[in-house]
Structure formats: structure tokens, C-alpha cells
């Protein structure tokens, strides 16, 4: 069978590449990380038309604030207050035989292009050069999404019947924190196994870290810097709190280890405060991102230890003990880990080896993605694999190697046949 698939892939590769060119040419970027909306509609409508022509049953799912609030309450997952006007998920179901079902998940949205002057070619004029397809979203992750769709097309082109149902979920707002997949999972989308098609550069990701974004706001007393002893410097108080967070990070680094992932970290990403060099600042805020491990840590533990470390430091400070900082969480997502002895992992390994002629490396990722949602909310066996490199995500002159894209089509098609027949 694999030789038939390879021959069919070679015969039809220009068609498969042209489909990727089409979708990369459509601007589908989020606005303000989804808070202010997004332009996914044209891309989703393109896929709806394609799915129908391929014979799939297609459904459209309007994401709502209500379902996100429910996910926040039940799973501590979701990012509130986003604008969903003209933004909806698209689900395609290709009916197969009586075998197991498989879902391929991908997001249609991209980050904005940034300064277009920095791009060698226009971000929405996909260009092929030296075996690479350049364009915004090529790697993150229209390449993976389209490869999964073309895997079904490849099987059809090879006149091979699907042994089980194949579901494609094209979701919105992933770049805003994953609300599209959260809504899909909360609204009942699931399968016997799920592949999240984010770029992995020929590696299989079976775990990723959870994340919590904190904002800490510290107050002080403003006076002229010539009499600074009469005021309270909020920046200096914030520095003291940051020292306590660094100590907590050091404890975590020593205490928590994982076979596939780095130790947990806390990053100071933003600091704001003060109005002038001659004024003692009355306010300072800083924002951080904590990455934490699956199984050994959870959201509640991270929040508890983080806030306790801050408040312990406050108790030892004459000002802070009575003027404690405001601590808030503005984005969060859980960790993900797939059991390596699960039959789906074996199926992927076998499929990759047959398609590529070598073993696949199983790794973890420090960056979170929608894999957590399909494992933790939908309860599906989940793996992450897709064409492209993570280093190309959110990058100027983003590209995907054509060979990786075509290889992903072959691997996915073999996986469909292997998993659905198990």
C-alpha cells in the first residue's frame, strides 16, 4: 500500500501544493490576540467549499462567550472577552468503514504579519523558492491543517476506502489562547484519537508544559526624588517581590523533573512603572509567564505557591505588609501528556517508520498548544505532529519546506489506514 500512496502522491503533488498556496494567500490573522476579533471567515469559507466538493459532511460552529465561560469554570481553560463576530469553527466528517475514528485538528488563524517591509515577499503572496513555500501561516499552521485534508484526498486519489471516519476540525482563535478548540471540545467534537497538526519538524510531541500568565500590580507613594525618603518607591518594592519569585523558580528547577520536558520556569516579560526620573514612582506592574509540568504540578498548585511566595515577602516589608500587591491571572492553559504505551502511539510510530523508512523521535515541547484541550477536555488519546519548524512560527519570512509538507500528507494517510484498522 505504501508504494501505491507514494506513487499517487508524486502524481498529484502539484494539486496538493496548490491547495496550500490557496489557503496561505488568504489573510486570516487574529486582531489583538482575538480580543478584538479575527479575519478567519474567508479561510473557513474556502475550506467549507473544499470539504463539500470532497464529499464530507460539514458543520459550522459559532464560538460563544458562554461556552468559554463554562470551560473556564469546569476546566480552568479559556480566554474571556473575545470578539467572535464572523468567526466560527468548521468541522468536516469523511465517512468511513466500521473501524476506529481519527481527528486531525488545526487552526486557521495566524498572528498578524507585523512590519511588511521586513518581509522579502508579501506575507499573503505565497512564493516557492529553493524548495520552501514562504508566506504567513505556512508553518503555523496552515501547512499541517492542509496536509491532513490532503491525506484524505491522497487516499481518494489512490482509490483506497477509508476504514473509519476521518474528522477535520479547523478552528479559530488559537493564537488568542485556544478558544476555538476549547469550544469544539466543549461542544462534543471527539474521536478515538486526535492528531494536532502543529509543526514539529519530523518529531512526535507527546507532552507539553502548562502555562499561567500573572500580572502583579504594586502601589507606592509619589514624591519628588529630592525627598525620596518621604515616598515609597513602587519599582523597588516590585523588585523585592521579583526576587521572591526568582527564589520560587529556583526551588522548582531543583525539585521537578520530566523525561521529555524542561524544568518549570517563570519569566518576567513586561514591567511598567513610574513617570519621570525625578519622581518616586507610585505604581509598578509586571507580567510573567509560568511554564509548569504535567502530572507533577497543576494549575491550583502553581497559583497557590506563586501567591504565597509573594505574600510571604510582603510580611517582611514595612510597607508591603499593609499594601499588598494585586495579583491577577490573564491567561492560562493546562499541560499535556500522552501515555507512551498507548496503542495510538504505537500506530503513529509504525506509520511514520513505513512512510519515512526510519524511527520517529518522541519528544516534549515547552510551548503549550491545543493538544492539552483534546486530551484534557475531550478525553481523547492525542499526539502532536505536523510539517514545519517551531522556529518559523510568528517569524518574518515564515516558510515551510515543501518536502516536509508532502511527507506529512503521506504519514497522515498511512496513519489513517493503520489506526482505523486496529
pTM assigned to the model: 0.92
Q: Estimate to the nearest angstrom the gap between the alpha carbon of 281 and the chain centroid.
A: 37
- What pLDDT was estimated at residue 316? 96
Q: Which three cell numbers stand for residue 182?
A: 476549547
Residues of the chain with CATH 3.30.70.360: 210-333
Residues of the chain with CATH 3.40.630.10: 2-207+336-420
**Spatial distance between the Cα atoms of 228 and 230, rounded to a whole number of angstroms:** 5
Determine the CATH number of domain 210-333. 3.30.70.360
Residues 144, 79 contacting (CB under 8 angstroms): no
DSSP per residue, 347-373: HHHHHHHHHHSSPPEEEEESS--THHH
- What pLDDT was estimated at residue 113? 95
Averaged pLDDT in 10-residue chunks for the chain of 422 residues: 97 98 98 96 98 98 97 92 97 98 98 95 97 97 98 98 98 95 98 98 97 97 97 98 98 96 97 97 98 95 98 97 96 94 98 98 94 97 96 93 98 98 96
Tens digits of residue pLDDT in 31-61: 999 999 999 999 999 999 999 999 999 999 9
- What pLDDT was estimated at residue 330? 86
- What pLDDT was estimated at residue 84? 97
- What pLDDT was estimated at residue 390? 87
Q: Specify burial of residue 117 (Cβ count, 10 A radius: 0-12, 13-18, 19+).
A: exposed
CA atoms within 13 A on the CB side of 323: 17
Per the prediction, the chain carries an average pLDDT of: 97
- What pLDDT was estimated at residue 413? 98
- What pLDDT was estimated at residue 367? 86
Residues 361, 416 contacting (CB under 8 angstroms): no
**Spatial distance between the Cα atoms of 228 and 280, rounded to a whole number of angstroms:** 6
The superfamily CATH assigns to domain 2-207+336-420 is Zn peptidases (3.40.630.10)
Tens digits of residue pLDDT in 258-295: 999 999 999 999 999 999 999 999 999 999 999 999 99
**Spatial distance between the Cα atoms of 44 and 90, rounded to a whole number of angstroms:** 7
Amino acid at each position: 500500500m505504501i508504494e501505491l500512496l507514494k506513487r499517487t502522491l508524486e502524481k498529484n503533488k502539484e494539486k496538493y501544493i496548490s491547495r496550500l498556496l490557496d489557503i496561505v494567500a488568504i489573510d486570516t490573522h487574529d486582531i489583538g490576540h482575538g480580543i478584538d476579533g479575527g479575519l478567519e471567515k474567508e479561510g473557513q469559507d474556502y475550506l467549507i467549499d473544499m470539504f463539500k466538493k470532497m464529499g464530507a459532511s460539514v458543520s459550522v460552529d459559532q464560538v460563544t462567550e458562554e461556552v468559554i465561560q463554562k470551560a473556564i469554570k469546569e476546566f480552568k481553560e479559556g480566554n474571556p472577552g473575545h470578539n467572535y463576530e464572523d468567526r466560527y469553527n468548521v468541522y468536516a466528517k469523511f465517512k468511513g468503514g466500521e473501524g476506529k475514528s481519527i481527528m486531525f485538528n488545526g487552526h486557521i488563524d495566524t498572528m498578524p504579519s507585523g512590519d511588511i517591509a521586513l518581509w522579502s515577499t508579501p506575507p499573503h503572496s505565497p512564493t516557492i523558492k529553493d524548495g520552501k513555500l514562504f508566506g504567513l501561516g505556512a508553518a503555523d499552521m496552515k501547512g499541517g491543517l492542509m496536509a491532513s485534508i490532503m491525506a484524505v484526498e491522497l487516499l481518494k486519489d489512490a482509490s483506497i476506502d477509508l476504514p473509519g471516519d476521518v474528522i477535520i476540525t479547523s478552528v479559530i482563535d488559537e493564537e488568542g489562547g485556544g478558544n476555538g478548540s476549547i469550544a469544539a471540545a466543549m461542544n462534543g467534537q471527539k474521536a478515538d484519537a486526535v492528531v494536532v497538526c502543529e509543526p514539529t519538524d519530523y518529531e512526535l510531541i507527546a507532552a507539553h508544559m502548562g502555562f499561567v500568565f500573572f500580572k502583579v500590580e504594586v502601589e507606592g507613594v509619589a514624591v519628588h526624588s529630592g525627598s525620596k525618603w518621604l515616598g515609597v518607591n513602587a519599582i523597588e518594592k516590585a523588585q523585592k517581590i521579583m526576587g521572591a519569585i526568582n527564589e520560587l523558580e529556583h526551588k522548582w528547577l531543583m525539585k521537578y523533573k520530566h523525561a521529555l520536558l524542561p524544568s518549570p520556569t517563570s519569566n518576567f516579560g513586561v514591567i511598567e512603572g513610574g513617570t519621570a526620573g525625578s519622581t518616586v514612582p507610585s505604581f509598578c506592574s509586571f507580567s510573567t509567564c509560568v511554564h509548569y509540568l504535567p502530572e507533577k504540578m497543576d494549575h491550583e498548585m502553581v497559583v497557590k505557591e506563586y501567591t504565597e511566595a509573594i505574600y510571604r515577602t510582603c510580611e517582611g516589608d514595612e510597607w508591603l505588609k499593609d499594601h499588598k500587591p494585586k495579583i491577577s491571572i490573564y491567561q492560562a492553559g493546562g499541560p499535556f501528556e500522552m501515555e507512551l504505551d498507548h496503542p495510538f502511539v504505537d500506530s503513529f510510530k509504525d506509520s511514520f517508520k513505513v512512510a519515512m523508512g526510519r524511527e520517529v523521535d518522541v519528544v516534549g515541547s515547552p510551548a503549550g498548544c491545543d493538544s492539552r484541550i483534546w486530551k484534557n477536555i475531550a478525553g481523547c488519546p492525542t499526539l502532536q505532529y505536523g510539517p514545519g519548524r517551531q522556529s518559523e512560527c510568528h517569524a518574518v519570512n515564515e516558510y515551510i519546506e515543501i518536502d516536509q509538507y508532502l511527507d506529512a500528507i503521506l504519514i497522515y494517510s498511512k496513519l489513517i489506514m493503520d489506526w482505523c484498522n486496529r
